[in-house]
Amino acid sequence: MHKIIAKHLKKLGYENASFPDDKLEKFIDFIDTMCIEADEDRAFLEHTLEITSQEMSELYETLKRKSETALAKSEARYKELAKKDMLVGILNRRGFHEAFKKIISLSKRANQKFALLFLDLDHFKEVNDIYGHEIGDKLLQEVVTRVSSNIREEDIFARLGGDEFVIILTNIDSKDVSKSVEKSLKLFQKPWFIDKYKLDITTSIGVTIFPDDAQTENELLNNADKAMYKSKELGRNKIVYFS
C-alpha cells in the first residue's frame, strides 16, 4: 500500500514535506478512500477464509466418512476371506467352527436334529504321489463342486484341511438320515475326470447325530472322527455311524 501512496504523493506534487495549494485535501480524500477500500478488502478476505474453512471442514468430514466406510468394508472382506479355504472356496476350519457353534445353538432352541458327517478321501496320498499335487488340488476342487451342488443351501460343507471334509445336514428326521448320508457316499463312487486322468477315488464317512450322540462341538467332532477311522478299518468306501 505504501507504494501506491508514494506514487499518489508524487502525482499531487508533494515535495519537501509540503503540498502545493489545494492538494492537501485531495490527498486526505485519497487516504480516506484507501482506508475504506482496505476495510472492505479485509472483510472480503475474512469472509472468504471463513467459507474456505467451512468447505475444508465439510470436505474433511466427507473424506473421513468415505475412509471409514472403505475401511469397514475391507475389514469385513478380510474377516470373510479368513473363514474361506483359499484352494477350494468353501469354509475352512476356522469358518466351520464358527458355523458349527451357531448350528448347535439354533438346533437346541428349535429342538431339531442334525447329522455331522466326517469325510476322508480314500488313497488321496497316492494321487499326489503318482500324478502330482496339481492334480491332487484339482481333485479337491472337483470334490467341492460335486458335493456343493448336491446338498441343501442350509447345510454346511467345509474343508478341515488336506483331504478331510465335514458336512452338517441340518434339521433332519431320523428316518431321512441314512438316505441323505448314502447320497453323499454315492457322490464319491462316480469316477473323477481330472485333466486327462480318470480317478476312482472314494471316501470313508463317519456319522454322529445331534443330540442323540452328543451335544457339544468337541464331542460331536470326536465321535464323527472315530466313526470315520472305523470306516477306514473296515475297508474304506463305507459309512459308519458312531455308537
Say what the pLDDT of residue 215 is: 94
Beta strands at 164-169 and 114-121: parallel, antiparallel or unpaired: antiparallel
- Using one digit for the tens of pLDDT, what is the confidence trace for 133-171? 999 999 999 999 999 999 999 999 999 999 999 999 999
Confidence of residue 1 (pLDDT cuts 50, 70, 90): very low
Confidence of residue 175 (pLDDT cuts 50, 70, 90): confident
Query: Model-level pTM?
Result: 0.70
The mean pLDDT value for 91-102 works out to 95
The mean pLDDT value for 204-208 works out to 98
Is 90 exceeded by the pLDDT of residue 78? no
Say what the pLDDT of residue 19 is: 47
Is 50 exceeded by the pLDDT of residue 216? yes
Say what the pLDDT of residue 68 is: 74
Say what the pLDDT of residue 54 is: 67
**Distances in Å between the alpha carbon of 171 and those of 103, 108, 117, 199?**
10, 11, 14, 34
Percent of the chain with pLDDT over 90: 63
Nearest 5°: the CA angle 224, 230, 234 is 145
Is 60 exceeded by the pLDDT of residue 206? yes
CA distance 205 to 121: 9
- Using one digit for the tens of pLDDT, what is the confidence trace for 45-72? 566 556 566 666 676 677 777 777 776 6
Q: In one letter, which amino acid is 61?
A: E
